Amino acid sequence: MGCPAELGGGDHAEAVGGLDRSGDRGDGARRACGDGSGERGTRGDDVLEATNGIDVMCGLGGNDRIFGLNGADVLRGGKGNDVLVGSRGSDVLLGGSGRDHLWAGKGRDLLVGGSGRDLLRGGRGADIMRADDGRGGDVLHAEKSRDTCIADPGDLLFGC
Residue 41 confidence (pLDDT) above 90: no
* Domain boundaries of the chain, sorted by first residue: 90-160
Task: Judge residue 89's burial from the number of C-beta atoms within 10 Å of its C-beta, 0-12 exposed, 13-18 middle, 19 or more buried.
Answer: buried
Higher pLDDT, 32 or 28: 32
What digits encode the pLDDT tens for the residues 89-126?
Answer: 899 999 999 999 999 999 899 999 999 999 999 999 89
Residues 6+ apart with CB under 8 A from 100: 77, 81, 82, 83, 84, 113, 114, 116, 118, 119
pLDDT (tens digit, 9 = 90+) per residue, 44-96?
899 999 888 889 999 988 999 999 998 899 999 999 999 999 999 899 999 99
- What is the per-residue pLDDT for 37? 53
